[in-house]
């Protein structure tokens, strides 16, 4: 039973109403407000894990009625699009030729293509020269690490997504000792969720602190954290 429980991943909410505007994402929001102004009809949302790329991409696709795709699923020659396309994990195409074909097909049909990836295209490893050229001509909206207020909102959202309840005292400790990065907030709640599933009960404060100890930023060096499966971005 424990193994089955551990295989279940939380389904993040990508509802537009759950997105919180912040100085860290205002550039992306400006670009998304005017798709007709995207050069060649393309826009890439780039930023560190957990900063809201996938949330914005999903919310925009839903609001606009666009097709939602994942880069790792791109294989062969995708069908010609009949509506706008939102492509998450765009930097990890199953096949580079498939991504190039999709970009060309959207351009020829004059349909918008919204993409999301942790880094701008200039930092991708791309073998196809034509694909590098298309990516270089793609507008990039950068999302930065959230403000303190938004980080607190992210911590609350990840708790809601995973149905994890933390007592106020523990929350105070987490806000003080966790590195102030979006991905760390997601990882902290994920670790608590997994630990509580293993024990079958709510963790005590001391047990929770033991689980999170590797993440605490008590020294000059910031601990490394694992990537969190697509709760990619609150926001």
Q: Per-domain residue ranges for the chain?
A: 25-142, 146-215
Q: Which of 133, 157, 152 is nearest to 15 (CA)?
A: 157
- pLDDT, tens only, 162-205: 888 888 888 888 888 999 888 888 899 999 999 988 888 888 88
**CA–CA separation, 54 vs 44, rounded Å?**
11
Residue 9, CA distances (Å) to 57, 117, 190 in order: 20, 21, 9
Token pair of 74 as six digits: 């791109």
CA distance 173 to 90: 36
Q: What is the pTM of this model?
A: 0.72
> 146-215 architecture in CATH?
Orthogonal Bundle (1.10)
Gap between the Cα atoms of 210 and 86, Å rounded: 40
The more confidently predicted of residues 124 and 9 is 124
Do 25-142 and 146-215 have matching folds?
A: no
Q: Distance between CA atoms of 145 and 190, rounded to whole angstroms?
A: 19
More confident residue, 201 or 146: 146
**CATH number of the domain at 25-142, please?**
3.40.50.300
């Amino acid at each position: 039973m424990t193994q089955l429980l551990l295989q279940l991943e939380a389904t993040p909410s990508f509802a537009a109403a759950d997105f919180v505007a912040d100085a860290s994402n205002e550039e992306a929001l400006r670009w998304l407000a005017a798709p007709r102004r995207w050069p060649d009809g393309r826009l890439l949302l780039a930023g560190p894990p957990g900063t809201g790329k996938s949330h914005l991409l999903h919310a925009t696709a839903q609001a606009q009625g666009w097709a939602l795709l994942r880069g790792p699923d791109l294989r062969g020659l995708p069908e010609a699009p009949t509506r706008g396309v939102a492509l998450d994990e765009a930097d990890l195409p199953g096949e580079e030729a498939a991504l190039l074909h999709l970009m060309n097909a959207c351009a020829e049909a004059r349909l918008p293509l919204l993409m999301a990836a942790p880094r701008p295209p200039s930092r991708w490893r791309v073998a196809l020269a034509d694909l590098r050229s298309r990516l270089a001509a793609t507008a990039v909206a950068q999302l930065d690490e959230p403000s303190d207020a938004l980080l607190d909102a992210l911590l609350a959202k990840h708790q809601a997504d995973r149905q994890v309840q933390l007592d106020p005292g523990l929350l105070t400790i987490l806000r003080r000792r966790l590195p102030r990065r979006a991905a760390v907030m997601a990882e902290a709640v994920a670790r608590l969720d997994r630990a509580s599933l293993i024990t079958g009960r709510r963790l005590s404060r001391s047990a929770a602190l033991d689980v999170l100890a590797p993440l605490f930023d008590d020294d000059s060096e910031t601990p490394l954290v694992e990537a969190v499966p697509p709760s990619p971005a609150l926001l």
